[in-house]
């Protein structure tokens, strides 16, 4: 089983083409599933498994392009992606600019330590998206 990153054991991954590398320099602040419609469109799936990190605890090597959207809440989410292969690298919300959300799937093969503690925007969950029903659910952002 892989171990979560910490200050002594950073964890690195890259996009599909290898042009952008991501290194988690410390442990996550939170882990969750987001089922908002924007995350569904971003992933092409029912939800996005997210590793929440302090911005200072992540290093990005390589150029990313961005796309910003305004959510129903009024918050602006800026997603960074690889300009060559399109891999989703991270997201930043205007609600908390010192925190970044990193897709857990970016660390495929070394992310079995990921354990979502909640589901946000559960009001948008699809019946076919099989998330463990024991995980606490919130219709919008966690309070």
* Domains recognised in the chain with CATH numbers: 11-121 (2.170.150.70)
Confidence of residue 6 (pLDDT cuts 50, 70, 90): confident
Residue among 53, 89, 96 nearest 71 (CA): 96
Report pLDDT digits (tens) over 37-95.
999 999 999 999 999 999 999 999 999 999 999 987 788 999 999 999 999 999 999 99
Please give the C-alpha separations between residue 72 and each of 42, 69, 117, 119, in angstroms, as whole numbers.
16, 10, 24, 18
Confidence (pTM) = 0.91
50 neighbors 120 (Cβ within 8 angstroms): no
């Amino acid at each position: 089983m892989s171990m979560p990153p910490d200050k002594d054991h950073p964890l690195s991954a890259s996009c599909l083409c290898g042009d952008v590398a991501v290194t988690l320099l410390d442990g996550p602040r939170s882990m969750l599933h987001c089922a908002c419609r924007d995350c569904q469109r971003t992933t092409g799936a029912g939800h996005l498994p997210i590793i929440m990190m302090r911005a200072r605890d992540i290093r990005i090597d390589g150029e990313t392009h961005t796309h910003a959207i305004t959510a129903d809440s009024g918050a602006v989410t800026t997603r960074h992606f690889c300009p060559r292969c399109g891999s989703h690298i991270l997201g930043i919300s205007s609600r908390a600019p010192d925190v970044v959300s990193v897709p857990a799937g970016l660390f495929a093969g070394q992310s079995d330590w990921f354990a979502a503690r909640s589901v946000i925007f559960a009001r948008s969950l699809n019946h076919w998206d099989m998330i463990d029903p024991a995980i606490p659910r919130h219709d919008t952002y966690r309070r």
